[in-house]
Amino acid sequence: MNYLNNPNTKFAVLLALCLTIFASCREEEVEDEGLPLPVISLQETSAAKNFEYIGSIEGVESVEIRPQVDGILEEIYVDEGEFVEKGQPLFKINSQPYMEDYKNAMANVNLEKAKLEKAQSDVERLQPLIDNEVISEVRMKSVKADY
């Protein structure tokens, strides 16, 4: 046991003992991993976004459209605010009253044509009688006035 009496050996053993104690007293650094939570992998996709707003829209120009004749609407061909072309029909008005007026006017035209033909016929028929002085000139003027 000679080697224990050697001062270098004692120093080496003492140094080893101190280092061991010093190393064991040091605090261990613990990594904080946090709470274990589930993890989900996300995939990139496109999504449509719809937004709704409250408001009102007014046109640049407002135009009032009125029919040239009165009547009851039978059909409406366009909606309010819809784009239309010149000459495009917008609605249909009940044509029954106008067809009756048209038929009455045509009947009056035909009646007047018949009166004209009768007056022409009377003038042609009475002209030879005037020439032969069978009837008076006054009667002929009366017939021509009807013509």
> pLDDT tens across 84-115, in order?
898 999 999 998 999 999 999 999 999 999 98
Each domain of the chain, given as residue ranges in start order, spans 73-146
Condensed to tens digits (0 to 9), the pLDDT of residues 36-84 reads 888 888 888 888 888 898 998 887 887 888 888 888 999 999 998 888 8
Q: Which CB contacts under 8 angstroms, 24+ apart, belong to 77-82?
A: none
Higher-confidence residue of 96 and 17: namely 96
For the whole prediction, is pTM greater than 0.85?
no
